[in-house]
Amino acid sequence: MFSSSLIPLAVLAISISQVNAWTDPFFVIQHGPDIITSRIDPVISPGGISSHVHSIVGSSSFKPTYTYENSISGKCTTANIAIDHSNYWIPQLYRKRDDGQFDLVKMNRANTYYLMRRGSQNEQVYDFPPGFRMVAGNPSRTTYNASNYADKAISYVCLGVNGAPESGEFPKQSCPNDLRAQVFFPNCWDGVNNWLPNSAHVHYPLSQGYNSGGPCPASHPKRILSVFFEFHFTDRFTYKDGARVWATGDDVGYSLHGDFTMGWPKGFLPKIFPYGQTCAVDFSLENCPPLKPLMTTNGSACRPDDGFQIVNEDIGTNNPIAKLPGNNPVWGRSGAKKPDPNYKETASFTTSTISVPAGWTKLGCLAEPKGSRALTGASMTDQTMTPTKCINFCSSKGFSLAGVEWSVECYCANTPSKTTLSAINNNLACNMPCNGLDYSAGYCGGSSLLTVYQKSGYSNSISASKASSSTSSSKAASAASKATSTTNKVTSSSKATSTTSKATSTTRKVTSTTAKLTSTAKTTSTSKAPTSSAKSTLNAKVATSSAKTSSTVASTSTAKLAGHKRRTGH
């Protein structure tokens, strides 16, 4: 049985919508693009293939079976806090075409909130124990009950539409600045179990709202932090009723659900509790002393650990698919849920590796020199680009260096121009999926970033570039190690500089009529992420809190780990 000591707080009591609450910690972790998109769910389907595709953010060590030890051992995280190795996921969104096929709609960013909701100023709050996991929502739900907290905790916001109400199902209009899918988890715990089927070890408050500090039931007496997250999906389409479809087959939106697996260093979160209002910082993590030294700009650069597993099937990354993966015919507006009773699972796991021709070695991520090219010997573009295609092309031209960029581009040379291989830095965001490989199976550079390969026998500063990568890795490891020590003096090589957080993210193909090259979106982000995140959902309209007002994101906006701008030329 897990036990936790009382976390005392002396903070000001104020009234929020007739609910007693205090200015307790409230902070938002931002994430770059998903780490893996696949039919994997270590909570509901541990060790097996999930019933539907998920979009997952968090620790790079995500696997079909969850263990706390595996999560915290990940080499990186999509989060902008270097030690948050939790994983968070929801179903993947698809769009049903007029011809009956489905386009995958890429998630472009996610925000995960941590809020303290207490019923009284002196109520104990408990840390998540290692191994803790929970689910909110139901992938098979077909109705909506406004008096049921479990139903109300699942919602949507249509960004870019003035006055658009929060809803319990897909909005009945297009959302030009993103469809935001929201999940609020229970904050009452039985104090004993890290997991029970149907997430029975956790419970919503008995009254005052699903997102409140209302009384916990006697069966779940211990208060835990409230976890809330929102996943953003590009939704700039002409609205058509029933076109949005979750990977579950649901075209109404009732089946949205979320999973959370604990991946914070043991004992770290309680260090934030005593700061109270000081750490009620919303997105401005640099203003919370325990979090400031752990901020990182590298969340968008995080990629799965070597040898990660995905389900060996076409999920629609690079092309439309005839049916949703798994046994998921469309249901909801389209009729009752009728899975095939004779369905037999034929998909299997595969260890994802990128095939590289013999005699070639991957060096890492290299930034293009400003206004120029690093590899100028030869080039080509291929809408089914893979590292192997690029290497074979460069090799045929007699070059010893090959670099893939922007998912479809290939460049060759024998020596870099206006840069050196010692500038290779694997903390850069070479995270654009290769157009010729299924999502998560491999990456082909980024925005003005090359994934570089070299032919064996050519030194050209290989050792220097490896040293650069090693230095970056060792600095990150140092930061994580110091964060788990008994002192609060944590230093991180990826410390953010004040309030600026730069990242890059991409939006993959979202419409069948757009060419792959022009459907990939480039982001350069320098300002804070939209803070429109479900203020009505959180009921956190506190005059003394730092909760921001709602805002929308135009396609050309800039935001921390967010915002998208079309590539105009290269």
pLDDT band for 427, please (50, 70, 90 cuts).
confident
Task: Note the pLDDT of residue 2.
Answer: 30
Distance of CA 334 to the CA centre of its chain: 30
Query: How is residue 428 written in tokens?
Result: 């850069």
234-237: which pairs have CB atoms within 8 A and are 24 or more residues apart? Answer: 234/105, 234/106, 234/108, 234/178, 234/179, 234/507, 234/510, 234/564, 235/105, 235/158, 235/174, 235/175, 235/176, 235/178, 235/179, 236/174, 236/175, 236/176, 236/510, 236/555, 237/95, 237/174, 237/510, 237/511
Candidates 122, 117, 119, 88; CA nearest to 25 is 117
What confidence score (pLDDT) does residue 353 get? 67
Q: Give the per-residue pLDDT at 61.
A: 95
- Residue 354 CB neighbours (<10 A): 17
Which range of 215-224, 421-430, 474-483, 498-507 scores highest in mean pLDDT? It is 215-224
Beta 188-189 vs 222-224: how paired, if at all? antiparallel
Say if residues 232 and 180 touch (Cβ distance below 8 Å): yes
Average pLDDT across the chain, whole number: 80
Q: Point out which residues pair with 27 in neighbouring strands.
A: 114, 282
Distance CA 380, CA 435 (A): 14
> What pLDDT does 106 receive?
86
DSSP 166: P
If residue 473 lies in a helix (H) or strand (E), which one and from where to where?
helix 462-483
* pLDDT of amino acid 440: 53
Which of residues 284 and 508 earns the better pLDDT score?
284
Confidence of residue 541 (pLDDT cuts 50, 70, 90): very low
Q: Which of 4-8, 61-65, 313-317 has the lowest mean pLDDT?
A: 4-8
DSSP string, 539-563: T---TTS-PPPP----TT--BTTB-
The single-letter DSSP state of residue 538 is H
SS3 content of the chain, % helix, strand, coil (to 5): 15, 25, 60
Residue 427: partners with Cβ closer than 8 Å, 6 or more residues away: 298, 301, 365, 472, 476, 494
> Tell me, what's the pLDDT at 351?
82
Return the pLDDT at 356.
82
CA–CA dist 66, 134 (Å, integer): 12
pLDDT for residue 456? 85
Q: Tell me: the pLDDT tens digits for 188-209?
A: 999 999 999 999 999 999 999 9
Classified as helix, coil or strand, 446 is: strand
pLDDT at 150 over 70: yes
Give the range with max mean pLDDT: 12-21, 206-215, 313-322, 513-522: 206-215
pTM of the model: 0.71
Sequential DSSP letters for 377-406: SEEEE-TT--HHHHHHHHHHTT-SEEEEET
Contact 287, 297 (CB under 8 A): no
Is residue 523 over pLDDT 90? no
Neighbour-count burial of 88, counting CB atoms closer than 10 A to its CB (0-12 exposed, 13-18 middle, 19+ buried) = buried
Reported in sequence order, the residue ranges of 321-383 that DSSP labels E, i.e. its strands, are: 349-351, 360-367, 378-381
C-alpha torsion sign, points 232, 238, 239, 242: negative
Looking at residue 319, its pLDDT comes to: 86
How far is the first Cα of the chain from the last one, in angstroms, to the nearest whole number? 58
Amino acid at position 247, single letter: A
Report pLDDT for 528.
35
Identify the band that residue 441 occupies on the pLDDT scale cut at 50, 70 and 90.
Answer: low
Length of the chain equals 570
Q: How far apart are CA 385 and CA 496, in angstroms?
A: 34
Closest CA to 200 of 183, 214, 217: 217
Q: How far apart are CA 177 and CA 232, in angstroms?
A: 9
> Does the pLDDT of residue 437 top 80, yes or no?
no
State how beta strands 409-413 and 360-367 pair.
unpaired
Burial class (CB in 10 A: 0-12, 13-18, 19+), 380: middle
- State the pLDDT at residue 507: 35
Q: Are 138 and 272 in contact (CB under 8 A)?
A: no
Strands (E), 247-291: 257-261, 280-282
CA distance 468 to 462: 10
Query: What is the DSSP code string of 506-534?
Result: -B----TTS-HHHHSEE--B-SPPP--TT
Assess contact for 390 and 403: CB atoms under 8 A.
Answer: yes
Segment among 117-121, 176-180, 260-264, 528-532 with least mean pLDDT:
528-532
Q: Does residue 515 have a pLDDT over 70?
A: no
pLDDT greater than 80 at residue 495: no
- pLDDT the model gives residue 22: 53
pLDDT at 181 over 80: yes
Residue 129 near residue 3, CB atoms below 8 Å: no
What pLDDT sits at residue 483? 43
- Which residues, including other chains, have CB under 8 Å from residue 263's CB and lie 6 or more apart? 58, 59, 68, 71, 72, 74, 77, 84, 85, 86, 87
Q: Is the pLDDT assigned to residue 567 strictly greater than 70? A: no
Which residues make Cβ contacts (< 8 Å) with residue 344, sequence separation at least 6?
Answer: none
Among the listed residues 252, 348, 285, 320, the one whose alpha carbon sits nearest the alpha carbon of residue 79: 285
Q: Residue 438: its pLDDT value, please?
A: 63
- Please name the residue that has the structure tokens 């994580």: 480
User: Which 8-state DSSP code applies to residue 137?
Assistant: E
Predicted confidence (pLDDT) at residue 375 exceeds the cutoff of 50: yes
In the predicted structure, residue 17 carries a pLDDT above the cut 50: no
- Round to whole Å and give the CA distance between 520 and 406: 8
pLDDT score recorded for residue 552: 33
Opening angle at CA 167, ends 144 and 284, nearest 5:
125
Residue 308 CB partners (closer than 8 Å, separation 6+): 36, 60, 61, 62, 63, 351, 352, 440
> Look-up: residue for tokens 């970056």?
472
Classify each residue of 381-414 as buried b or exposed e, where b means 16 or more C-beta atoms within 10 Å of its C-beta.
ebeebbbbbbbebbbeeebbbbbbbbbbbbbbbe
Query: Binning pLDDT at 50, 70 and 90, where does residue 505 land?
Result: very low
Distance, in Å, from the CA atom of 255 to the CA atom of 257, rounded to the nearest integer, reads: 6
